[in-house]
Amino acid sequence: MTHIAKRHFLLFLLLQIFSVLQVEAADPAWASKVGIRKLKIKNRVFNVKDYGAVNNGTTLNTAAIQKTIDACAKKGGGKVVFAPGKYLTGSLFIKEDVFLQVDKGVEILGSQNIKDYPDIDTRVAGIEMKWPAALINIIKQENAGVSGEGIVNAQGKPFWDSYWALRREYEPKNLRWIVDYDAKRPRTLLVSESENILVKGLTFQQAGFWTVHVLYSKYVTVDGITIQNNIGGHGPSTDGVDIDSSSWILVKNSDIDCNDDNFCIKAGRDWDGLRVNRPAEYIVIRDCISRKGGGLITFGRYAAYSGKKFESQWNRSWYSF
């Protein structure tokens, strides 16, 4: 390399460093306002065993755990806790001021029977429709959450298998895209039409479908979760974190290993997305690890995408759409 070439290379290197430093210093003002605001957690504890839950991994505990959540909510909120062990359950619905605490040594097991996930009004793959509720649901609530160092294992393999079976049937008929809607599978955690919600610390495994879906919500923090969807196979459509027509969202310190989009930001599909007309905006994702997956981060997966502001702090750059 000639002396002049070396000087040009050095100048180029300095310019790149300067550019990175400039981006580092130029975080938009809105980025500090995302995520939960002050949480109010009442100093009351409700243990699911006191309401009939059995920690043997085989007894279906949906009714007992829901009864605990409802009792907590009726008393004005607090924490719902579990003794160590494995708890099999279908869909649970968290209420306002209730925090589901899944501590180390506790494993929530998702039922493998689709009948244990009642149909609800929601949005899936960009279109509003009836679809099975998630394993854990926070719908139309404020000041609530789920946290702890325990495990939520959705046990999704039967739903993976049913998807592949239907896909083998549909593909020869050129109906591949319809499989995504006809193969009904439960998400693991749904936060929908809610505000000031915390999801923290949990390990999610074997999602039957998307793992964490934040829909039509605002001021949500997802912090320090681990997603392990490639245990026991490679489940289809097992997205990590999907942020869907939601605002003021913070995702940080999380570790995602899945078999589709690690992180996905979207706002509806085609005519239905335009009808709903709710953007995905003011979103920060920082200090996260993406392992296996179909996309590190995807934007506007559907044609009606209307996201506005997003900041990624893998490289501390921010984007405005």
The length of the chain in residues reads: 321
> Which region among 9-23, 82-96, 120-134 has the lowest average model confidence (pLDDT)?
9-23
Q: Please give the average per-residue pLDDT across 137-141, as a whole number.
A: 98
Task: Identify whether residues 219 and 143 lie together within a single domain.
Answer: yes
**Residue 160 neighbours by CB distance under 10 Å:** 24
pLDDT score of 300: 66
In tens, the pLDDT along 44-69 reads 999 999 999 999 999 999 999 999 99
Task: Identify whether residues 254 and 283 lie together within a single domain.
Answer: yes
Task: Identify whether residues 153 and 9 lie together within a single domain.
Answer: no
Task: Identify whether residues 58 and 1 lie together within a single domain.
Answer: no
Do residues 192 and 183 touch, judged by C-beta distance below 8 A?
no
Q: Which amino acid is at 202?
A: L
Task: Identify whether residues 8 and 60 lie together within a single domain.
Answer: no
Residue 211's CATH number: 2.160.20.10
Task: Identify whether residues 74 and 21 lie together within a single domain.
Answer: no
232-250: b (≥16 Cβ within 10 Å) or e: eeebbbbbbbbbbbbbbbb
At residue 19 the predicted structure's pLDDT band, cuts being 50, 70 and 90, is: low
Task: Identify whether residues 23 and 38 lie together within a single domain.
Answer: no
Over its C-alpha atoms, the chain yields an Rg (Å, rounded) of 21
Task: Identify whether residues 235 and 218 lie together within a single domain.
Answer: yes
What are the tokens at 104?
A: 């180390």
pLDDT score of 22: 47
- The total number of structural domains that make up the chain: 2
At residue 235 the predicted structure's pLDDT band, cuts being 50, 70 and 90, is: confident
269-283: b (≥16 Cβ within 10 Å) or e: beeebeebebbbbbb
Q: Please give the average per-residue pLDDT across 201-213, as a whole number.
A: 97
Do residues 285 and 214 touch, judged by C-beta distance below 8 A?
no
**Residue 177 neighbours by CB distance under 10 Å:** 9
Sheet harboring 289-290: ordered strands across?
56-60, 85-89, 106-110, 151-153, 203-205, 226-228, 255-257, 289-290
Task: Identify whether residues 48 and 170 lie together within a single domain.
Answer: yes
Do residues 197 and 174 touch, judged by C-beta distance below 8 A?
no
> Which region among 83-87, 170-174, 198-202, 290-294 has the lowest average model confidence (pLDDT)?
290-294
Rounded Cα distance, 307 and 244, in Å? 9
Please name the residue ranges forming H helices in the chain: 3-24, 62-74, 157-170, 179-182, 270-276
CB within 8 A of 37, min separation 6: which ones? 196, 219
pTM: 0.87
pLDDT score of 155: 97
Q: Judge whether residue 14 has pLDDT over 50.
A: no
Task: Identify whether residues 249 and 204 lie together within a single domain.
Answer: yes
In tens, the pLDDT along 283-314 reads 999 999 988 877 778 776 554 444 455 554 44
Domain that includes residue 17, residue range:
1-28
Do residues 253 and 229 touch, judged by C-beta distance below 8 A?
no
Task: Identify whether residues 8 and 134 lie together within a single domain.
Answer: no
At residue 233 the predicted structure's pLDDT band, cuts being 50, 70 and 90, is: confident
For residue 270, give the 3-state DSSP assignment. Answer: helix
Q: Judge whether residue 177 has pLDDT over 70.
A: yes
| CA trace torsion 48, 223, 121, 179 (10° rounding) | -110
Task: Identify whether residues 24 and 111 lie together within a single domain.
Answer: no
